[in-house]
Structure 1
Amino acid sequence: MSSARGQVMQVVEFYSGIGGMHYAIQESNINAKILAAIDINTVANNVYRHNFGNTPVWQREIGKISLKELQELNGDLYTMSPPCQPFTRLGKKADVNDARTSSFLHVIDLLIKMENPPKYILLENVKGFETSAARNALISALKQRNYSYQEFLLTPLQFGIPNSRLRYYIICTRDANLSFPTTEEVMMELPNFGQVSKVRCVSDFMENLTNHSIQSYFLPQSTIERFLKVLDVVKPDSQRSCCFTKSYFHYAEGTGSVLQITNPILDSNLNLKINDTSNDDNQLLQHLKLRYFTPREVANIHCFPVHFNFPENATKKQCYRLLGNSLNVHVASELLKLLIT
């Protein structure tokens, strides 16, 4: 198997989505070849093919991949972002009793049975996975196959990116030790990474939109009046934003930050009047200019490269859903650098 930086790393992407892990591999400068990008989501696969036309995409149910198929691929590195809903409050935290976990449990079972398991594994999921039975099953398999591993809970804010998308990660290497002292505790920062001097402003990730193109992203007045108290409002000079979920743009509450582009002199008046619902206040709210982040801006915050784009036939709703199910490319790339040294 190839493990040195000078050799070609053979990669299998499970739950490949729109290619976040592929871009992370590119950003990490690992010399790699993607043997297969595997996902059941037709729309995600179309986006993946649109951006990585030469990569084999398997439109497959991962739970039906055979041991023989996986062994024939003979991958050095497995990357994966299994479905996160079984480990969330909205998903009722059904964990291994959720049917959406079955494909991941199948991958774990194959890992145990393989003659030549991969040298490296990188997995990403939501906070909450670290206390799950699915995680325990993975750890048991890793120990059986002689992997060294380290778990993390990391947010892009730690890397200077204005987004609080806290996620679980685990990096694993087989028949060797990782390049730093490991612990059974979940690490909350990367070892030897250093302190980021400053978090960048939201404005660094914004598009230069025309007045015409921006119109469809403004929140309707009725939405502002109904949800203003619970909206997470940020400005171009803000150094944070909330996690963007797959329901962003479709639902306003709890799905991600919205952007205020208005005259700063209104801010003090707004703070005084937010709890009032008189006509005068509604007049004031019209000047807030609250809009959703565009799909391109969400992709920017997730650190997708500028050449990443969606096919022309992709709807806004599809773009937001796919981005909400994706990951932060830069955070994943830093973990890959740490894993493969």
Structure 2
Amino acid sequence: METPPPWRVLEFYSGIGGMRYSLASSGVRAEVVEAFDINDVANDVYEHNFGHRPCQGNIQTLTAGDLDKYKAHAWLLSPPCQPYTRQGLQKHSADARAFSFIKILNLMQNMSFPPQMLFVENVVGFEVSDTHDQLLAVLSTLSFNTQEFILSPLQFGVPYSRPRYFCLAKQESMCFPNPSVNDKLLRTPTCLTLNTTRTQNSYDQNEDDLEVVCNPIRNFLEAQSIGDKESSAIISDFKEADGCTPIETASHDYTVPLSLIERWGNAMDIVYPESKRCCCFTKSYYRYVKGTGSVLVTSKVRLFSFLSSVPVFSFFAPLTLWCHLIIFTIPYFVIMFFKL
């Protein structure tokens, strides 16, 4: 029997390539035929890891004909989240950052070769927006079935509290393995890493329950302690030109200054290697303390002989918590740019 060709995939808002990395890790036979992102630094990282530079420009300039030429089976979309975040203005489709996604939805209705499958990711809050309503309306018009979820890494045993909205959509001619949840939004399903006697429609498990079955943070660290001179493990995901980061460099770059702890310690979300959760990391992590992500107690040091040991706090380099393996790297010139 002849092997069918791989799926042709378009990746919108590709960023540094998280969607593509996950697609490759899934084992699905698929080929990303094009990616789109407007951010040049993100595209640098994407190109560094995948050998392909995304199409850089405003998605709003695309036409139905532009997308038809790819004849893609599947689209991956992670549109800007700012219009829907709790801390934002929540302008939804009236926010200019939502316009490109709405443009894509409109283009789908005018294509000769629309996709057969969609995967959409966004923040919690998107599911109650008018943009979400437009998404479902377009998918219904084009005869798609949908399955929607609010999922967190905690459900997969990863100690990272980051609930997100996901929409899976397939044309009606393609069946989901579990059609009983078609056209439903499932919130906080049970932990997906356990054999459980819960019924399929039991979705009342909270994050405290999920922490019990999570792996500890130490399982995701590349060194147990910044002060551990004997460790040959690499502390940071970020690599220098020779492919590794010395312990001394990592200590300097990621140790939280004592002055910052003294001033803002009460506002920090502090976790330990044995902790089974940490908070979501935001774009402002490392620059602001409150509400931007957790800090990790990595070791204890004695500042002076007459003082007791005090904990050393470190910033995360969170690629491993996102389950991106060590082969995913950041170009050296990008690291230097952000150090300046």
User: Normalising by the residue count of structure 1, what TM-score does the alignment of the two structures yield?
Assistant: 0.80
Deviations 1:306-327 (A, max 9, x none): 20000001138859xxxxxxxx
Please tell me whether the aligned partners of residues 73 and 116 of structure 2 are also in contact (alpha carbons under 8 angstroms). yes
Residues in 1 aligned to 2:62 and 2:320: alpha-carbon distance in whole angstroms: 33
Shift of 1:263: 4.7
Give yes or no for the alignment of 1:313 onto 2:310.
no
1:55-74 superposed matches below 5 A: 55=52, 57-74=54-71
| Residue 293 (structure 1) aligned with residue 316 (structure 2) | yes
Distance 1:212 1:304 in 2: 22
Task: Give TM-score, length-normalised by structure 2.
Answer: 0.81
d(CA) in 2 for partners of 1:317, 1:203: 30
Q: Superposed, which structure 2 residues align to 1:117-136 within 5 Å?
A: 117-136=114-133
CA distance in 1, matches of 2:81, 2:220: 26
- Partner amino acid, structure 2, of 1:289: V
- Report Cα offsets for 1:261-308 as digits up to 9, x if no partner: 2359x9xxxxxxxxxxxxxxxx77x822111012xxx01100112200
Unmatched runs of 5 consecutive residues or more in structure 2: 196-211, 224-234, 236-246
- In 2, Cα distance between the equivalents of 1:194 and 1:111? 36
Equivalent residue for 1:195?
194
Cα 1:74/1:191, change in 2 over 3 Å: farther
**Counterpart code for 1:15:** Y
Structure 2 CA distance for aligned equivalents of residues 85 and 258 of structure 1: 24
Code of the residue aligned with 1:250 in structure 2: it is R
2:166 equivalent to 1:169: yes
2:221 aligns to what? 206
Q: CA deviation at 1:68?
A: 0.6
Residue matched to 1:276: none
Give the C-alpha shift of residue 113 in structure 1: 1.5
Say if 1:202 and 1:317 are closer, same or farther in 2 by CA, change over 3 A. farther
CA, structure 1 residues 124+84, in 2 after alignment: closer, same or farther (shift >3 Å)? same
Match of 2:112 among 115, 125, 129: 115
1:18/1:212 Cα in 2 relative to 1: closer, same or farther (>3 Å)?
closer
Q: Identity over the aligned pairs, expressed in percent?
A: 34
After the TM superposition, which of the residue ranges 180-189 and 10-19 deviates more from structure 2?
180-189
Give the conservation status (yes or no) of the 8 Å contact 1:86–1:92.
yes
Structure with the bigger RCO (C-alpha within 8 Å, sep 6+) is: 1
Select 1:103's aligned residue among 100, 103, 110. 100
CA distance in 1, matches of 2:190, 2:108: 27
Cα contact 1:250–1:317 (8 A) shared by 2: no
Assess, with a 3 A threshold, how the Cα gap between structure 1 residues 61 and 114 changes in structure 2: closer, same or farther.
same
Structure 1 alignment gaps of length 5 or more: 267-282, 320-341
In structure 2, do the counterparts of structure 1 residues 51 and 110 end up closer, same or farther at CA, with 3 Å as the change threshold?
A: same
Deviations 1:199-218 (CA, angstroms, capped at 9, x unpaired) = 11111211234245312211
The amino acid of 1:187's aligned partner reads L
Are 1:95 and 1:133, in contact at CA under 8 Å, matched by a contact in 2? yes
Distance change in 2, residues 1:183/1:74 (3 Å): closer
CA contact (8 A) 1:6 1:31 kept: no
Give the root-mean-square deviation of aligned CA atoms: 2.5
Q: Secondary structure at the match of 1:58?
A: coil
- What residue number does 1:41 align with? 39
Query: The residue matched to 2:213 in structure 1 has which SS?
Result: coil
- Work out which of the residue numbers 222, 228, 233 in structure 1 matches 2:270: 233
- Aligned amino acid, residue 186 of structure 1: L
Pick the structure with more helix per residue: 1
Return the alpha-carbon distance in structure 2 between the equivalents of residues 259 and 236 of structure 1: 7
| Equivalent residues of 1:50, 1:310 under 8 A apart | yes
C-alpha distance 191-234 of structure 1, shift in aligned 2 (>3 A): closer
1:325 is aligned to none
Is 1:23 the counterpart of 2:46 in the alignment?
no
CA contact (8 A) 1:10 1:33 kept: yes
Instruction: Answer yes or no: is the 8 Å Cα contact 1:5–1:30 preserved in 2.
Output: no
- 1:158 maps onto 2:173 in alignment: no
Q: Does 2:284 match 1:255?
A: no
